[in-house]
Amino acid sequence: MSALDLSRWQFGITTVYHFIFVPLTIGLSIIVAGLQTAWFVKKDPEYLRMTKFFGKLFLINFAVGVVTGIVQEFQFGMNWSAYSRFVGDVFGAPLAMEGLLAFFMESTFLGLWIFGWGRLSPRLHLATIWLAAIGTSLSAYFILAANSWMQHPVGYRISPVTHRAQLTSIVALLTNSTVLAAWPHVMFASFLIAGMVVIAASAWHLARGSDTALFRRAMRLGLTLTLAAGIATAATGDVQARLMDSQQPMKMAAAEALYDTSAPASFSLFTVGSLNGGKELWSVRVPYLLSLIATLNPRGTVRGINNVQRAYVKRYGPGSYKPIIPVTYWSFRLMIGFGLLVTLLALAGLWLTRRRRVPRSQWFYRAAMWGVVLPYLATTTGWIFTEMGRQPWTVFGVLRTSQSVSPGVSAGEIVTSMTVFTLLYAALAAIAGWLMIHHVKSGAPAEPEAPGADELLPVFSY
Amino acid sequence: MNLATFWFILIAVLWTGYFVLDGFDFGVGILLPFLGRDNTDRRMMINAIGPVWDGNEVWLITAGGATFAAFPLWYASMFSGFYLALLLILAALIIRGVCFEFRGKVDTDRWRRNWDRAIFIGSALPALLWGVAFANIVRGVPLNAAGVYTGNLLTLLNPYGLLGGLVTLSLFTLHGAIFLGLKTTGELRGRARAAAVRVAAVAVPLAAGFLAISQLAHGRPATDVVAALAAVALLGAVAAAFRGREGWAFAGTAVTLALAVATLFGDLWPRVLPSTTRAAYSLTVSNASSSHYTLMVMSWVAVIFTPVVLLYQGWTYWVFRKRLSRSDFPPPAAGPAAPARPAGQGRIVPGQP
């Protein structure tokens, strides 16, 4: 494998891994802040126990998210130095802002929250978790603005002197239509994961009849959030699809493996056969749906891969502009499918737990526990689709992936780093996963004697 | 002063923040197996840096991001050139970061011992390698006409680079020992103070030698003065530590680190990454920087938000200013704080022991 392929694999592995932890951090920080707010307002000790229980789960997850995040910032320079040279003037700005505006806020106030129990006034302590949560969501915005610029570059020009990209408008970069659609999509997807984690943790206890009052309440909260997040994720994804159709028509066509321009275009749920433009042996299709998704018009025209390829050759010169079609086709479908399954699961759960009901069926609990992998699969396939669908570009229409890799780094060095990261990350995943499962099983901490007796709660955390 | 020079100074400030703040975290991690006689000691040490270490590490992330934004060519050449060294640093920081969070989650000695070992390695390795990296930046590295690093890991491990590594390793350890003396009470405080004096016996000659060699090889009159002041600050810190004036000693090592960074960046200016292949290939403040517009936008962001960050991080130190003592850490079973828990699940510690 070449240094380019190896660098791509490493970026894929480290980024997919990093994004296993990020959405739970985003979603759960807000849920914990909400629970603590409920406790602060209602003084109901059950909310305090929930805050502590999910707060600790959040912290185990947060630690891994933070440490794998440093790798993300460093590897642009380490493995993609040609990219960094070319785009640093534009791409570096949101990254630096993320550090100064978001990461400091997130980590400093989280430190205050962890160690501030009983040391800060309840009101101030509540503010620290909200500030940490806001910092987390803010960091998502900056990094998505950076990524959106790669999908749909705006607010820049190519300098005639240096031949590198140069920022011309920070406002255009931060209000890119792509990030305005991507940020809510990622935020809702984060709640899909966080909600499902709350559901799974509650299911474990409800299935055993332990702490039923508390975990039924948590279950209902998780189900409601997951259902709402599922619907909102689909709605924002729908907005993104139309933006994609106008900004990256090749990606839209590759999502559907639509080779020739069609009006109306149908949406295939499954296809058996050659995806490389050959024969389609068997498929299940929904007529008009692709036209509707891409253009809001059931008879709208959706451009095909071959047609876009011809247009791109005319515009960018000879070469192939097709991503790997089976990857884009299946990742797009699987993302939607997994997201839909989670949403249906949440809907079924809400029905089963209606009007103070506690379901007896172990099937439901088993589905709720194993279902926790579904939203993770949805976000993972979603990112694989977004990034693989942009290929062969790192910055769409501006810089190719093959021109982005570090010229001075050898394949041997990348094999070394990829091995180190993969082994380290696998070990971390095993330990963090094990800790989270055992934390869930050990249950919510005991109730303090009286509400407001939290001075008795431990101050030191490590 | 043009904007590129302003950003050069700002990046020096960010690295200063990183070395002064995460420096004592590293020092505490390095001293963990030596000063922590039992688990209570070690918990005191870890909790002394507990509320702040993560925020301290953000100085590194921000320094990296600021270099990317303000000097993309410097960022690209340095990060790809120091590939394996940075890999080691990243691996160490990853392990160290999760250690603090995971160490207390399972209540067995073996579990904690393994994490303690990892904290030591995860602190010592970056403390050494940052010095190696900075010494090599000042010394210059083989860069070709395209600004691409043509050496390997061994190129960085030259005597001057290794000396730089030993300087940061020993200075951070000293800084950490003084910090512990400032933050703890009882026997641990006494041991930390004794350790500070012993580490100083190594750190002072190393740091003085390194600064002298740096000034002879790369210095200029203005930085000679700064280097001399750094040496004075270090001697002052040691004298204060010796007399048990912990606050002054800590201020002394902090000023030493700041002035040492200022010396190295001053020696470097106007270059950001000198080329040993040919002086003309060197990256400089002007040929490696971003456009005026980007620097201007980033300057506004930095001018507005850096004071805010300093304010709330400073407040954190104020909130957690109290010294820690052994009585703050009751054993898990006897502690009034330990939450009651169903029998049979005692191995995992959900509450804080």
Q: What is the pLDDT of residues A349-375, one digit of tens each?
A: 999 988 888 888 889 999 999 999 999
Per the CB < 8 A criterion, the answer to whether A200 and A368 are in contact is yes
For chain A, first and last CA: distance in Å? 44
pLDDT value of residue A460: 56
Residue B330 has pLDDT above 70, yes or no: yes
Q: Which residue of B has its CA nearest to A60?
A: B101
Mean pLDDT of A88-97: 95
pLDDT value of residue A453: 41
Q: Are strands B271-273 and B283-284 parallel, antiparallel or unpaired?
A: antiparallel
Q: Tokens representing B138?
A: 């000042």
pLDDT value of residue A233: 96
* pLDDT category of residue B336 using cuts at 50, 70 and 90: very low
HSE-up (13 A, CA, CB side) for residue A446: 16
Q: What is the per-residue burial (b if ≥16 Cβ within 10 Å, else e) of B145-175?
A: eebbbebeeebbeeebbebbbbbbbbbbbbb
- The whole-chain average pLDDT of chain B stands at 90
* pLDDT category of residue A109 using cuts at 50, 70 and 90: very high
pLDDT value of residue B352: 38
pLDDT value of residue A287: 82
Shortest alpha-carbon distance between residue A328 and chain B (Å): 30
Shortest alpha-carbon distance between residue A8 and chain B (Å): 15
CB burial of residue A326 (10 Å; 0-12, 13-18, 19+): middle
Shortest alpha-carbon distance between residue A13 and chain B (Å): 15
Nearest CB neighbour to A88, from listed B68, B102, B350: B68
Biggest CA–CA distance in chain B, Å, is: 72
Domain range annotation of chain A? 3-244+324-456
A 86-125 near B (Cβ less than 8 A)? 87-93, 95-101, 103-105, 107-112, 114-116, 119-120
Q: Tokens representing A35?
A: 């629970």
Higher pLDDT, A119 or B165: B165
Asked if A96 and B57 come within 8 Å (Cβ–Cβ), the reply is no
pLDDT value of residue A444: 84
* pLDDT category of residue A275 using cuts at 50, 70 and 90: low
Go through the domains of chain B in sequence order and give each one's CATH number: 17-327 (1.20.1630)
Which residues in chain B are closer than 8 Å to A113, comparing Cβ atoms? none
* pLDDT category of residue B29 using cuts at 50, 70 and 90: very high
Instruction: Tell me the per-residue pLDDT of A387-397, one tens digit each, with 9 for 90 and over.
Output: 999 999 999 99
Residue A204 has pLDDT above 80, yes or no: yes
Asked if A456 and B336 come within 8 Å (Cβ–Cβ), the reply is yes
Q: Which of A90-104, A274-288, B55-69 has the lowest mean pLDDT?
A: A274-288
Rounded Cα–Cα distance for residues A249 and A241 (Å): 10
Mean pLDDT of B210-221: 94
Q: Are strands A280-286 and A267-273 parallel, antiparallel or unpaired?
A: antiparallel
pLDDT value of residue A304: 87
Q: Does A290 touch chain B (CB under 8 A)?
A: no
Rounded Cα–Cα distance for residues B145 and A451 (Å): 69
Mean pLDDT of A11-24: 95
Mean pLDDT of B234-257: 94
pLDDT value of residue A267: 83
Residue A450 has pLDDT above 80, yes or no: no
pLDDT value of residue B343: 38
Q: How far is CA A398 from the centre of its chain?
A: 25
What is the three-state SS of A185-211? HHHHHHHHHHHHHHHHHHHHHHHHCCC
Asked if B66 and A101 come within 8 Å (Cβ–Cβ), the reply is no
In chain A, what are the helix, strand and coil shares in percent, each to the nearest 5?
70, 5, 20
What is the three-state SS of A247-301? HCHHHHHHHHCCCCCECCCCEEEEEEECCCCCCEEEEEEECCHHHHHHHCCCCCC
Mean pLDDT of A408-416: 93
pLDDT value of residue B332: 58
Q: Which residue of B has its CA nearest to A70?
A: B61
Rounded Cα–Cα distance for residues B123 and A418 (Å): 22
Instruction: Tell me the per-residue pLDDT of B267-322, one tens digit each, with 9 for 90 and over.
Output: 999 999 999 999 999 999 999 999 999 999 999 999 999 999 999 999 999 999 88
Handedness of CA B63, B66, B68, B74 (dihedral sign): negative
Query: Which among A208-217, A235-244, B128-137 has the top mean pLDDT?
Result: B128-137
pLDDT value of residue A100: 93
Which residues does residue A262 pair with via DSSP β-bridges, in sequence order? A302
Compute how many other C-beta atoms are within 10 angstroms of the C-beta atom of residue B64. Answer: 26
pLDDT value of residue B250: 96
For chain B, first and last CA: distance in Å? 54
- The whole-chain average pLDDT of chain A stands at 90
pLDDT value of residue A327: 92
Question: Is residue A412 within a helix (H) or strand (E), and if so which, with residue range?
Answer: helix A411-442
Which residues in chain A are closer than 8 Å to B342, comparing Cβ atoms? 210, 443
Higher pLDDT, B330 or A138: A138
Shortest alpha-carbon distance between residue A313 and chain B (Å): 30
The share of chain A scoring above pLDDT 70, in percent, equals 95
Cβ-proximal residues to A166 (8 Å cutoff; 6+ apart), any chain: A89, A90, A156, A157, A158, A159, B290, B291, B293, B294
Residue B335 has pLDDT above 50, yes or no: no
What is the three-state SS of chain B? CCHHHHHHHHHHHHHHHHHHHHHHHHHHHHHHHHHCCCHHHHHHHHHHHCCCHHHHHHHHHHHHHHHHHHCHHHHHHHHHHCHHHHHHHHHHHHHHHHHHHHHHHECCHHHHHHHHHHHHHHHHHHHHHHHHHHHHHHHCECECCCCCECCCHHHHCCHHHHHHHHHHHHHHHHHHHHHHHHHECHHHHHHHHHHHHHHHHHHHHHHHHHHHHHHHHHCCHHHHHHHHHHHHHHHHHHHHHHCCCHHHHHHHHHHHHHHHHHHHHHHHCCEEECECCCHHHCEECCCCCCCHHHHHHHHHHHHHHHHHHHHHHHHHHHHCCCCECHHHCCCCCCCCCCCCCCCCCCCECCCCC
Cβ-based contacts under 8 A for chains A and B = 269
Amino acid, res. A203: A
The share of chain B scoring above pLDDT 70, in percent, equals 93
* pLDDT category of residue A219 using cuts at 50, 70 and 90: very high
* pLDDT category of residue B27 using cuts at 50, 70 and 90: very high
Rounded Cα–Cα distance for residues A155 and B192 (Å): 54
Question: Is residue A233 within a helix (H) or strand (E), and if so which, with residue range?
Answer: helix A212-247
* pLDDT category of residue A456 using cuts at 50, 70 and 90: very low
Residue A449 has pLDDT above 60, yes or no: no
Rounded Cα–Cα distance for residues A176 and B32 (Å): 48
Q: Which residue of B has its CA nearest to A131?
A: B312
Residue A147 has pLDDT above 90, yes or no: yes
Mean pLDDT of B39-43: 91
Compute how many other C-beta atoms are within 10 angstroms of the C-beta atom of residue B299. Answer: 15
* pLDDT category of residue A266 using cuts at 50, 70 and 90: confident
pLDDT value of residue A51: 94
Nearest CB neighbour to A84, from listed B55, B76, B340: B76
Shortest alpha-carbon distance between residue A173 and chain B (Å): 12
Q: Which of A205-219, B146-160, B288-302, B330-344 has the lowest mean pLDDT?
A: B330-344
CB burial of residue B245 (10 Å; 0-12, 13-18, 19+): middle
pLDDT value of residue B347: 39
pLDDT value of residue A452: 46
A319: left (phi over 0), alpha (psi -120 to 50) or beta: left
Residue A277 has pLDDT above 60, yes or no: no
* pLDDT category of residue B59 using cuts at 50, 70 and 90: very high
Per the CB < 8 A criterion, the answer to whether B110 and A69 are in contact is no
